[in-house]
A = this chain, B = another copy of it.
Amino acid sequence: MRDNYPTRLDHPSDPITRIEPTVWGQDDDGPLNAAELTKMESDGFLLKPQTLGQNWLKPLADELDRIGADAPEGDPRIIREPNEGTVRSVFQPEQFSDLIAEVITLDNVLPVARQILGSDVYLHQTRINFMKGFEGTGFYWHSDFETWHAEDGMPAMRAVSCSIALTDNYPYNGSLMVMPGSHQTFYPCVGATPDDHHTSSLVKQEIGVPDRETLTKAAHEFGIAQATGPAGTALWFDSNMMHGSGSNITPFPRSNIFLVFNSVENELGPPFAAAKPRPEHLAARSARPFAESDLLST
């Protein structure tokens, strides 16, 4: 398969203009109106307040601890805080929780993903996160697509992420920063992928991030926007959006559900720049469309 976005190179390489559109569907294909689709195409992200009503928030937050208590020791999908045992993240939480699976099938979630990507979709990666206050460390600038392409074999930019806040996002508690419009450019990165890179990159990514000169130019070209809003707000953002987050020393923790939808027409192949694919819970390799019938209780 042709590699339109070479990365993890042994030499610096010029930015590549994106080939694919960002928005593949039309306004009569789903819940988003024409203005929202235009904004998504140009900025690469879209905030949708009240995607989840207040009554969802507490039960969803509770699911994290319930899953943590129920799940077997050593399950790679459960990420616990080093010395405490409390759960920081659960990957593929919809496999543990019908409540979370229901979120995916909501009228303002799954149909939005289908509309943006102009096809049926499946879940490439999902997680629910709880980031404590006082000591949230944030994560450095990167494009998710760069990793999904290099390490998972995702061929084209036809995936979209939906991050639904379960807590209020302020400008000062480590909320996501994006460079609006940066999704139109692919920045090849220098450095070969280490074996089992995901074991370190999920803690701190150092390979697959642009150099400082590139990021400085991009920040001056695109500026920086922050994804803030009350709990229940969904942030939709393109797979190739340059994003990152700072630390959180405030007492206000952050929790979110993070869903990555990929088009069924964008099925993964062999990794473009890694020895072997990442584990299934980080990058699902079956492109079977997600459906209501995937609820545990059905």
Instruction: Assess A141 versus B249: contact at CB under 8 Å? Given A171-B226, A226-B171.
Output: yes
Nearest residue in B to A217 (C-beta to C-beta)?
Answer: B251
Nearest residue in B to A226 (C-beta to C-beta)?
Answer: B172
Residues A248 and B246 in contact, CB atoms below 8 Å apart: yes
Interface residue A224 (Cβ < 8 Å from any Cβ of B): yes
Give residues 138-166 of A contacting B (CB, 8 Å). 138, 140-141
Number of copies: 2
Q: Determine which of B133, B246, B252 lies in contact with A172 in the assembled complex, contact meaning CB atoms within 8 Å.
A: B246
Provide the residues of chain B in CB contact with A170, threshold 8 Å.
224
Interface residue A108 (Cβ < 8 Å from any Cβ of B): no
Residues B249 and A140 in contact, CB atoms below 8 Å apart: yes
Give residues 52-105 of A contacting B (CB, 8 Å). none
Chain A residue total in the interface (Cβ 8 A)? 26
Interface residue A247 (Cβ < 8 Å from any Cβ of B): yes
A83 shortest CB reach to chain B, Å = 16
Cβ contacts A40-60/B at 8 Å (1 or 0 each): 000000000000000000000
Nearest residue in B to A214 (C-beta to C-beta)?
Answer: B251
Cβ contacts A215-239/B at 8 Å (1 or 0 each): 1100110001010000000000000
Provide the residues of chain B in CB contact with A181, threshold 8 Å.
none
Interface residue A250 (Cβ < 8 Å from any Cβ of B): yes
Interface residue A190 (Cβ < 8 Å from any Cβ of B): no
Provide the residues of chain B in CB contact with A247, threshold 8 Å.
138, 246-247
Interface residue A2 (Cβ < 8 Å from any Cβ of B): no
Residues A251 and B212 in contact, CB atoms below 8 Å apart: yes
Bound Cα distance A247, B177 (Å) = 13
Cβ contacts A240-268/B at 8 Å (1 or 0 each): 00001111111110000000000000000
| Interface core residue of A134, A141, A250 (most chain B CB under 10 Å) | A250
A77 shortest CB reach to chain B, Å = 28
Interface residue A180 (Cβ < 8 Å from any Cβ of B): no
Provide the residues of chain B in CB contact with A219, threshold 8 Å.
250-252
Nearest residue in B to A223 (C-beta to C-beta)?
Answer: B170
Interface residue A174 (Cβ < 8 Å from any Cβ of B): yes
Q: Determine which of B140, B226, B251 lies in contact with A216 in the assembled complex, contact meaning CB atoms within 8 Å.
A: B251
Q: Determine which of B140, B172, B212 lies in contact with A177 in the assembled complex, contact meaning CB atoms within 8 Å.
A: B172
Bound Cα distance A170, B252 (Å) = 20
Provide the residues of chain B in CB contact with A244, threshold 8 Å.
249
Besides A215-B251, A219-B252, A247-B247, 4 more A-B contacts (Cβ < 8 Å) are: A134-B212, A172-B177, A219-B251, A224-B250
